[in-house]
Amino acid sequence: MESSIAFYVGSVDYTSVENSHVHQCLDVTSPPIATQDGGHIHYTEGSVVFEDGHTHHYKAYSGPAIPVGSGMHVHYYDFYTTEDNGHRHHVKGVDHPAPGNK
């Protein structure tokens, strides 16, 4: 019996709705950054997908690793994009599960 396991790097989120539109946020993070409690966080920066004639940029740190069982963990994100075209967007949520408990 053959088994395959897929792991995702980063996440795909959508921004808040502002000015009647959203942007897709394709998140790719830094390697783990160790924290004093033995866990880790990630740094991310990038741009949201071009939509409604413009794009936004962001720079953010994740929250600490949150164990979700089966030897996997997620990170919570909560940040705002840059202001472009007279508005900014809020991005919050968790990334895809990744291996490790810390």
Specify whether the CB–CB gap between 18 and 88 falls below 8 A.
yes
Give the pLDDT score at 4.
41
In the three-class reduction of DSSP (H, G, I as helix; E, B as strand; rest coil), residue 71 is classed as coil
**CB burial readout 16-41, b (16+ within 10 A) else e:** eebeeebbebebebeebeeeeeebbb
Q: For position 68, what pLDDT does the model report?
A: 95
Which pLDDT belongs to residue 12?
64
Return the domain boundaries, the chain: 11-99
- In the numeric block, the tokens 């075209």 are attached to 85
pLDDT in tens, the chain (102 residues): 444 433 335 566 788 888 888 888 887 788 899 999 999 999 998 888 888 889 999 999 999 999 999 999 999 999 999 999 999 999 998 888 888 877
Predicted TM-score of the model (pTM): 0.78
